[in-house]
Amino acid sequence: MLVLGIESSCDETGIALYDTDTGLLAHRLHSQIAMHTEYGGVVPELASRDHIRRVLPLTEACLAEAGKAIADVDAIAYTEGPGLAGALLVGASVANALGFALQKPVIGVHHLEGHLLSPLLAEPAPQFPFIALLVSGGHTQLMAVRGIGQYELLGETVDDAAGEAFDKSAKLLGLSYPGGPQVSKLADTGDATRFKLPRPMLHSGDLDFSFSGLKTAVLNLVKKEQQDDGTLDNATRADVCAAFQEAIVEVLTKKCLAALKQTGMKRLVIAGGVGANRQLRAGLDDAAQRRRFEVFYPPLALCTDNGAMIAFAGAMRLKYAAADYQFGVKPRWDLA
Ligand code: KG4
Ligand code: ZN
């Protein structure tokens, strides 16, 4: 069965073709980051318009790469939510129009379920059950995953998401959006021991997170260390990045360990954009060796938003598909 996946929840148009027998055949992505950079964040109306421009050419490119025609598609999966309403509507409309024209089922997929299942696209894929750490620009959640559709929320952020903390701290340091990759790169050259930043809720005794205090600590540090012109010298900036990254990685790692202990599970899956962070991966790999659990990551290219995870989650959900073309979007939507 060949599933076309369409992701358009935020600032990336992602299209993919997933075959339930042979795996991922093609995936294409257009990132709008350059377009939004001058505004310091995503402008929803610009995002919607760009999705409209990109979605069909990317679909055609995927079909060409896979050597398939649109008539070969057996089902269409799209991101139904959560996300920006206008951006979601582009994917929802195209998916449902295609489904109607081709008389094929259309499945609305939860964006976080896409992220959550994306490590199953890697080799080796994790077996159920597992603990999933979802760390993206909008979410930070720990879930117990017992099967497709069987998700239990164990803990989540009470304020900012981990990716949001990266992005906001990057902005305070004069770095452009999205800040995660840049903070991470600078951190590699910095000294993490020069500044000590807080580890919010590390000892809260539950599996919740809080990152807004960390961002405020970065703000205070920037104010204290800034030069006369209001900027930081390069070495100080790298040291702040290193201290920030170390704090966030320590909290994420220790909460994952606590979730494994609490549930007795032995497999950990990392999903979402922050899952691309090399220090987080190194910290978790190290803990996995010492504590004898397995850790799984999506392929690096599938860590951030993409169509492949939507095609895959849609394929997994196909048996629940209702081809009634009564479609909508859910800009706010909890997975569990
Ligand atoms: O999953 P994603 O692409 O989009 C959402 O659904 O939010 O995640 C984007 C987030 C951004 O906050 C970005 O700064 C962060 O992931 N990110 C990283 C890295 N790469 C992306 N954060 C830390 N280190 C990275 N290497
Ligand atoms: Zn995402």
**Mind listing the pLDDT tens digit for each residue in 63-100?**
999 999 999 999 999 999 999 999 999 999 999 999 99
Count of structural domains, the chain:
2
Tokens 């900036």 — which residue? 237
Distance CA 218, CA 196 (A): 10
**What values do phi and psi take at 45, rounded to 5?**
-65, -40
Residues 180 and 281 in one domain: yes
Question: pLDDT confidence of 48, banded at 50, 70, 90?
Answer: very high
Structure tokens at 90: 């582009």
Q: Report the length, in residues, of the chain.
A: 336
- The ligand placed nearest to the CA atom of residue 164 is 1
Residues 6+ apart with CB under 8 A from 205: none
pLDDT tens-place string over residues 15-24:
999 999 999 9
138 is in an annotated binding site: yes
Give the number of other CB atoms < 10 A from CB of residue 186. Answer: 22
Residues 167 and 292 in one domain: yes
Residues 159 and 46 in one domain: no
Q: What is the CATH number of the domain that holds 272?
A: 3.30.420.40
Distance CA 240, CA 287 (A): 24
> Quick check: is 59 in a domain?
yes
Task: For ligand 1, say whether the CB of 137 is within 6 Å of any of its atoms.
Answer: yes
Give the number of other CB atoms < 10 A from CB of residue 146. Answer: 14
* Closest listed residue to residue 6, CA positions, set 102, 323, 14: 14
Give the pLDDT score at 321. Answer: 42
Please, how many CA atoms are within 13 Å of residue 262, restricted to the half-sphere of its CB?
17
* Closest listed residue to residue 155, CA positions, set 147, 166, 144: 144
Any bridge partners for residue 295, and if so which? 268
Task: For ligand 1, say whether the CB of 167 is within 6 Å of any of its atoms.
Answer: yes
**What values do phi and psi take at 3, rounded to 5?**
-115, 130
> Quick check: is 314 in a domain?
yes
Q: How many helices (H) and strands (E) does the chain have?
A: 10, 10
Residues 6+ apart with CB under 8 A from 78: 5, 6, 7, 8, 91, 92, 94, 95, 96, 106, 107, 108, 109, 310, 314
Distance CA 259, CA 250 (A): 14
Distance CA 104, CA 107 (A): 10
Task: For ligand 1, say whether the CB of 309 is within 6 Å of any of its atoms.
Answer: no
Residues 288 and 309 in one domain: no
Residues 62 and 157 in one domain: no
Query: In angstroms, how far is the first alpha carbon of the chain from the final one?
Result: 28
The best mutation among 109, 136, 173, 281 to test binding of ligand 1, ranked by most ligand atoms within 8 Å of the C-beta, falls on 136
> Quick check: is 243 in a domain?
yes
Residues 141 and 225 in one domain: yes
Ligand 1 atom 13: residue of nearest CA: 180
**What values do phi and psi take at 52, rounded to 5?**
-60, -45
The best mutation among 274, 279, 306 to test binding of ligand 1, ranked by most ligand atoms within 8 Å of the C-beta, falls on 274
Rg of the chain, C-alpha, whole Å: 20
Domain that holds residue 167: 128-297
Task: For ligand 1, say whether the CB of 178 is within 6 Å of any of its atoms.
Answer: yes
ipTM of the complex in this document: 0.98
Give 128 Cα–ligand 1 centroid separation in angstroms: 25
* Closest listed residue to residue 4, CA positions, set 105, 140, 87, 82: 105
Does residue 162 register a pLDDT over 90?
Answer: yes
Ligand 1 atom 10: residue of nearest CA: 137
264 is in an annotated binding site: no
pLDDT tens-place string over residues 126-151:
999 999 999 999 899 999 999 888 99
> Is-contact 256 268, C-beta < 8 A?
yes
What average pLDDT is seen over the chain? 93
